[in-house]
Amino acid sequence: MKNIFFSCILLISVTANAQKWEGLALTPPMGWNSWNTFAGNINEKLVMETADAMVSSGMRDAGYIYLVLDDAWMAKERDAKTGDLVPDPVKFPRGMKAVADYIHSKGLKFGLYNCAGTLTCAGYPGTRGYEYQDARFYASVETDYLKFDWCSSDGINAKEAYTTMSKALKKAGRPILFSLCEWGQNKPWNWASSVGHIWRTTGDITAQWEGIKTHGTWSSSGVMKILESQDTLRKYAGPGHWNDPDMLEVGNGLSESENRAHFSMWSMIAAPLIAGNDIRKMSASVKAILTDKDVIAVNQDSLGIQAMKYAAKDSLETWIKPMKNGDWVICFLNRKAIAQSINFNWNEKIIEDAVAKRNLDTKAVTYKLTNLWTKKSIGDTKKALQVMVPPHDVVMLRLMK
Ligand code: GLA
């Protein structure tokens, strides 16, 4: 009797504390988002063609399930009578439910964008003060994913604003993956795991290898620049709650090796894999990178622990990720524009992973090595590894017992 009483109390308190929809992102979410290539130039035709291409290219079957419309899907004003959000009547003449229906008919899920502030970053109606009403709108047009930005948010408390939206989504009754996009400004890794499923850790990404691009009042960062700030955050991520170093720029102007390195590193750090290229026109090389099942398996591993940066010297970095079945993945990343050689003596010391609470001890266990990109077996950990890492590229190996 006493036990039943305490179980009931526990259940009531767990339910009362429950904010976000649980179980929606047990592995990092995968999908496509319109912003990196199309910015505000989106419409129903683009969505339908992209949905078709996600299926015909094999992207959907590789795991890219969410098709997310970013900023600029709305009209400039809310409905004057009801205060509801209104889809842009020229871009989306049949409204968002018709778009959602098409996306769902292709076996995909549908995502939308808005902002915690009064206006979105592109100047469309923000959600501040309309959280419950907007959540009902998303549920009514069968949205499955909401990216929630941070423009025009002066004076707002981030944790409170995102918590309110999270509760509103729960109340609206439709499971919606909640993507927080406040650019890491309020350290969401400290508070967002009960609020949403992914949280941006940085400002915007841009399709360049290193450095920063300035745009007057704000700047965006190259792929390597973003990667630099991710290692210290690994302990905050896990099944259902992930660090988000922003969407992929694979296929948006980086070289083939840079595309491969970017995709490998986002997979290593268990980042959401949200493609941002024009899927209707991607090259065979870009498609092969985005759909590589062995590399995606590293990202989607159910243990859900980000890789750690084990070593870095002369812009040659060594990252290691523990895998659910006891395997490990090691990725050598060459940030330089010249090839560099690696001589890695497995038996030099035991590699300790304090987050996974597991050691890689190659004296105790010999692992077979497979190169995940070339698919070749390359011996085992008894012998020191000697390998050349091409410029702006990776060598990514899976260690198997
Ligand atoms: C912000 C976000 C981007 C994108 C744009 C849209 O910059 O960080 O990812 O959503 O707004 O305006």
Atom 8 of ligand 1: nearest residue by CA position: 204
Residues in the chain: 401
Per the annotation, the verdict on 204 as an active-site residue is yes
Q: How far apart are CA 5 and CA 270, in angstroms?
A: 40
Ligand 1 site-directed mutation target among 32, 35, 115, most atoms within 8 Å of CB: 35
Residue 294 annotated among the catalytic residues of the structure: no
394, pLDDT greater than 60: yes
Name 329's Cβ contacts closer than 8 Å, sequence gap at least 6.
Answer: 268, 298, 307, 320, 321, 323, 372, 396, 397, 398, 399
Residues with CB under 6 A from ligand 1: 35, 70-71, 120-122, 149, 181, 204
Domains along the sequence of the chain with CATH: 25-299 (3.20.20.70), 308-400 (2.60.40.1180)
pLDDT confidence bin for 19, thresholds 50/70/90: confident
Residue 15, pLDDT score: 43
Å from CA of 333 to ligand 1 middle: 28
Find out whether 91 and 42 touch, Cβ atoms under 8 Å. yes
Atom of ligand 1 nearest to the CA of 204: 8
* pLDDT grade for 18, boundaries at 50, 70 and 90: low
Tell whether the model's pLDDT for residue 7 goes beyond 80.
no
Question: pLDDT, tens digit, for every residue of 89-125?
Answer: 999 999 999 999 999 999 999 999 999 999 999 999 9
Q: Specify the ligand 1 atom closest to the Cα of 200.
A: 8
Looking at ligand 1, which atom is closest to the CA of residue 181? 8
Ligand 1 atom 3 nearest Cα: 204
Q: Which residue among the candidates 71, 204, 278, 353 is catalytic per the annotation?
A: 204
Three-state secondary structure along 29-70?
A: CEEEECHHHHCCCCCHHHHHHHHHHHHHCCHHHHCCCEEECC
In the block, which residue shows the tokens 């390195």? 261
Mean pLDDT of 22-34: 98
Taking the centre of ligand 1 as the mean of its atom positions, its distance from the CA of residue 203, in whole angstroms, is: 9
Please report the pLDDT score of residue 13 as a whole number.
Answer: 41
Query: Model pTM?
Result: 0.95
Q: Ligand 1 test: best mutation among 204, 206, 220, 246, most atoms within 8 Å of CB?
A: 204
Which of 38, 73, 148, 149 is the pocket-test mutation for ligand 1 (most atoms within 8 Å of CB)?
149
Ligand 1 center from residue 19 Cα (angstroms): 25
Burial (CB < 10 A; 0-12, 13-18, 19+), residue 89, is exposed
- Residue 368 CA, ligand 1 centroid: distance in Å: 43
Asked whether the predicted pLDDT for residue 366 surpasses 80, the reply is yes
Structure confidence by residue, pLDDT tens digits, 169-222:
999 999 999 999 999 999 999 999 999 999 999 999 999 999 999 999 999 999
Q: Pick the residue whose CA is nearest to atom 12 on ligand 1.
A: 121
Query: Cβ(289)–Cβ(366) under 8 Å?
Result: no
Q: Please, which pLDDT band fits residue 369 given cuts at 50, 70 and 90?
A: very high
67 C-alpha to center of ligand 1: Å?
16
Q: Residue 117, Cα to own-chain centre: how many angstroms?
A: 22
Q: Which atom of ligand 1 is nearest to the CA of 147?
A: 10
Q: What is the DSSP string of 112-176?
A: EEEESSSB-TTSSB--TT-HHHHHHHHHHTT--EEEEE-TT-TT--HHHHHHHHHHHHHHHTS--
pLDDT tens readout for residues 128-170 = 999 999 999 999 999 999 999 999 999 999 999 999 999 999 9
